[in-house]
Amino acid sequence: MTTTRPDPDLGLPDTDLPDTGPAAVRERDETDPLAGFRSRFAPVPEGLVFLNGASLGRLPAATADATDALVRGEWGARLAEARTQWLDLPQRVGDELARTVLGARPGEVVASDCTSVNLYKLGAAALRDRPGAVVLDDDNFPTDQYVLTGLAEEYGREARVVRTDPDRGPQPEEVRQAVAGGAALVSLSLVSHRSGALADLRGIQEAAHAAGALVLWDLSHAVGAVPLELTADGVDLAVGSTYKHLCGGPGAPALLYVREDLQARLTQPVQGWYGHREQLAMRHAFHPDPGIRRFLTGSPPVLSLAALLPALRLLGEAGTDRIRAKSTALTGLFQRLAAELLEPHGFRLAGPPDPARRGGHLTYTHPRARKLVPLFAERAGVLVDYAAHDRVRVSPAPLSTRFADVHEAVHRMHRVLKEEGA
């Protein structure tokens, strides 16, 4: 996968910040081309620094108005007559996802269900399409492992588990060895939820395709954090959550992507009226829609879909290249400050040291991580995340986080460590 390099003609921020002093940090904020987006989010409570965007993105200020307009103006005022204008909402939101953050064509994406359900649907569709094993890795998100091993058992297939270095992520050569002898499906996360490691999308796909396998990517920690070009990169299948870097809100419906030329040949296992080619005709026999709608099942979560749109408009306006450039600058600043202030107290960077090889978050190990994360919140007002196996996950959201916030957060965390004698 290619990574964005700063380009002055596009107004991209320079990712290099050699001086980490307060004055240099303030100057960076003053020249940040994305600084204006910060005011378009609901404010963080006074005294808190939010560095946990990989868990649940911040609330866009326009979201409350958008959902209120739907509840009062459409549902409240138009009653049951409003329901017909929501029939194609999963596709309309899907097309917006395709355009703004996925690099996909119209008609290749829908927003529906949750990531786990969509993973099951597309994994089953791949196994129905071709013979062979299911390949996954042991560093994938736990629900992915549960779903994929369950699918292998359900369809009588072998589940081959790649042993992955959690700080590097899955490697093409490891996948090449795992698919030797044939495979039906390879399913991995593009960005590791634990370390933030960014996988080699093209290299892994090349290895999988050579063995006849389809590749199903989980984009939950990638979408909105790194530029994606699903169509240009020849991605087969993808799913992903929309409540992290896409700021879709709690329980936001997940994305589901199927490359255009695969849609007519793949059948998903949870057939429902929303996937019927004549949805409102109420036929007794199921005939799947020829396009992306065949992967839908039942009535969509309309309020949650409406809540996702304001965030997508913000992301589309900002541009994923600029978001990515600022993201690498923010995590790079945290990394340099942490080397000076946190690592002497037992913090160790877990994951690629090069910000270009990470997603939108970085991770540190510490033997007391489980205890420290709530202490950072209670004593210092710094909101980061605890990840399994004694890891602290840090994810500054580029549209709503200042460089000064990162600077302040590391110094506050340092004070807590000194108090704790860690």
DSSP code per residue over 211-245: TT-EEEEE-TTTBTTB---TTTTT--EEEE-SSST
Q: 37 catalytic, yes or no?
A: no
Q: Of 121, 324, 357, 393, which residue is the catalytic one?
A: 393
Q: 50 catalytic, yes or no?
A: no
Closest CA to 199 of 242, 246, 247, 166: 166
| Cβ atoms 189, 217 nearer than 8 A | yes
Q: 41 catalytic, yes or no?
A: no
Q: Of 41, 141, 295, 376, which residue is the catalytic one?
A: 141
Q: What pairing do the DSSP bridges indicate for beta strands 254-258 and 237-240? A: antiparallel
Q: 243 catalytic, yes or no?
A: yes
Q: Three-class SS of residue 62?
A: helix
| Cβ atoms 417, 342 nearer than 8 A | yes
Q: 141 catalytic, yes or no?
A: yes
Taking the CA atoms of the chain, what radius of gyration do you get in angstroms? 22
- The residue assigned the tokens 């002497």 is 344
Q: Of 37, 243, 257, 295, which residue is the catalytic one?
A: 243
- The residue assigned the tokens 């795992």 is 178
Q: Of 58, 194, 244, 322, which residue is the catalytic one?
A: 244
CA 279 to chain centre: 31
Using a 10 angstrom Cβ sphere, with 0-12 exposed, 13-18 middle and 19 or more buried, the burial of residue 119 is buried
Q: Of 95, 137, 200, 218, which residue is the catalytic one?
A: 218
DSSP code per residue over 168-184: T---HHHHHHHTTT-EE
Q: Three-class SS of residue 43?
A: coil
Q: What is the dihedral of CA 117, 121, 123, 125, to 10 degrees?
A: 180
Q: Catalytic residue numbers?
A: 141, 218, 243-244, 393
